[in-house]
Amino acid sequence: MSEKKTLIIGLVWPEPCSSAAGTRMLQLIDFFIAEGQQVIFACAAAKTVYSFDLPGKGVTELVIELNDDVFNGLIREISPDIVLFDRFVVEEQYGWRVQQECPDAIRILDTEDLHCLRHARQQAIKSGEPFQISDLFTDMAKREIAAILRCDLSLIISELEMKILKETFHIDPSLIYYLPFLEETLEEKDLKHWPSFEERAGFVFIGNYLHEPNWHTLQTLKTAIWPLLRKKLPGIALHIYGAYSNQKVMQLHNEKEKFLVNGRAEDAKTAIAQHKVLLAPIQFGAGLKGKFIDAMLTGTPNVTSTIGAEAMAGDLNWNGLIADDPELFITAAVTLYQMKDKWLQAQQNGINLLNNRYAKSAFLPAFRITLENLTAQLKTHRQHNFFGQILQYHNASSTKYMSLWITEKKRHRP
């Protein structure tokens, strides 16, 4: 019996040291490798020095191009059993080519988060109006929902987004699958390596600043939170870390104000673990926030907003305190920083959260069965999703014909 093949088409090459999206992608790659699959990772983006060493995991790398018919021949030759698209824009670009050349391959979309939700919330912040569900019905949502309908299965990282897809967009439950971050459980031996309350100093924030919610959060910290918080705790510093800390990020550094912008951390968890409390007054976004998983993995309580903690805790207690009003946020930060008993309780909450809601052992066996059932019943599954077939039909494939037009234009370029 020949080895099964999974082709992953990435928006970018995974950078787990730069973003939660990179970590998420490696978790999926590890799953397919553990299933005995040959994994091929294809990407049209340029690599950086921070791109993960995929060949070191036994993953075959494939450099591809946008709007290029060569891809069709490559995928025919690979003949994958599963094709996973990294975000909906990748499915738009390559989905029709996969369907055309390898119609029997299972097509999976890893949404990372609902882009239409994040974008709608961002627009609401810009307009100064409160976000409403009706704000979701945008052109971006049409594109993203169309990609979900064209695929056999979409991986959704947030329970709230599962609810939105089912109740607001009326997506058939058989097309979407809840799969959050997949972590190792915290054991007693892990906790022994954590710095104690007394050994930690200062506040911390971390994020990839190419991601607009992180840049906006950093500005909120600089202008609305830190000027008041540092007066309540004089002498305490706020340490800022993050990937892609460009000039606009670095220029926020101010030694006098103890607003210390350190740039990229060599290791996010090590950086977070030095400090007492993570601050994240996130105003918009979607999905789950990797920085809070890293905080839980290092025993670091946090103060965040309702949006920041959204869908992460379920019915369990949060790994810190939640406040949306700036004054309440500052009071919460002071409380966690100064009161060891509350800090220790928040740390314990984080342990419970991680072990009960993000343990990969609780999710991967069921995911394996879902893929097995999908493989066995693919024809029936697709017949049930007739709207997806309509969207695959050539008259609705605007992205396909746009791509073919660009391909022809490139071919006849002087």
406-411-414 Cα angle (round to 5): 110
Check whether 410 has a pLDDT greater than 90: no
Strands 203-206 and 277-280: parallel
60-63 β-sheet, strand order: 60-63, 38-43, 5-10, 82-86, 106-110, 153-156, 176-178
How many independent structural domains does the chain possess? Answer: 2
The verdict on 134 and 242 lying in the same domain is no
Q: Work out the pLDDT band at 4, boundaries 50, 70, 90.
A: very high
Mean pLDDT of the chain: 95
Of the chain, the percentage scoring pLDDT greater than 70 comes to 97
Q: Do 256 and 108 reside in the same domain of the chain?
A: no
Residues 198, 153 share a domain: no
115-129, 349-363, 394-408: which range is least confident on average?
394-408
The DSSP secondary structure of 221-239, one letter per residue, reads IIIIIHHHHHHHSTT--EE
pLDDT at res. 406 = 77
Say if residue 279 is in the same domain as residue 337: yes
Domain boundary among 312, 331, 357: 357
pLDDT at residue 2, rounded to an integer = 64
Q: Which pLDDT score, from 0 to 100, does residue 82 have? A: 98
For residue 29, pLDDT beyond 70: yes
Q: 392 and 260 in one domain?
A: no
- Model pLDDT, residue 94: 96
Residues 162, 242 share a domain: no
Domain that holds residue 264: 188-357
Portion of the chain with pLDDT greater than 90, in percent: 93
127 and 196 fall within a common domain:
no
Residue where a domain terminates, one of 357, 374, 402: 357
Instruction: Give how far the C-alpha of residue 73 lies from the chain's centroid of Cα atoms, to the nearest Å.
Output: 31
Q: Which amino acid is at 395?
A: N
Average the pLDDT over 131-153 and give the result: 96
**Which pLDDT does position 1 carry in this prediction?**
45
User: 37: pLDDT confidence band, cut at 50, 70 and 90?
Assistant: very high
- Looking at the structure, do residues 377 and 268 belong to the same domain, yes or no? no
What's the pTM value of the predicted model, to 2 decimals?
A: 0.94
Taking residues 253-274, report their average pLDDT. 97
pLDDT in tens, 52-87: 999 999 999 999 999 999 999 999 999 999 999 999
Residues 339 and 372 both lie in one domain = no
Same structural domain, 59 and 160:
yes
User: Are 114 and 224 within one domain?
Assistant: no
In this predicted structure, which of 40-54, 213-227, 383-397 has the lowest mean pLDDT? 383-397
Does residue 371 share a domain with residue 352? no
CATH of the domain at 72: 3.40.50.2000
Helix axis angle for 70-78 and 88-101, nearest 10°, is 70
What pLDDT digit, counting tens, does each position of 149-178 carry?
Answer: 999 999 999 999 999 999 999 999 999 999
pLDDT (mean) for 32-49:
97
Q: Distance (Å, rounded) from C-alpha 371 to C-alpha 373?
A: 5
Q: Indicate the residue among 357, 377, 399 that finishes a domain.
A: 357
Q: Write down the pLDDT at residue 383.
A: 95
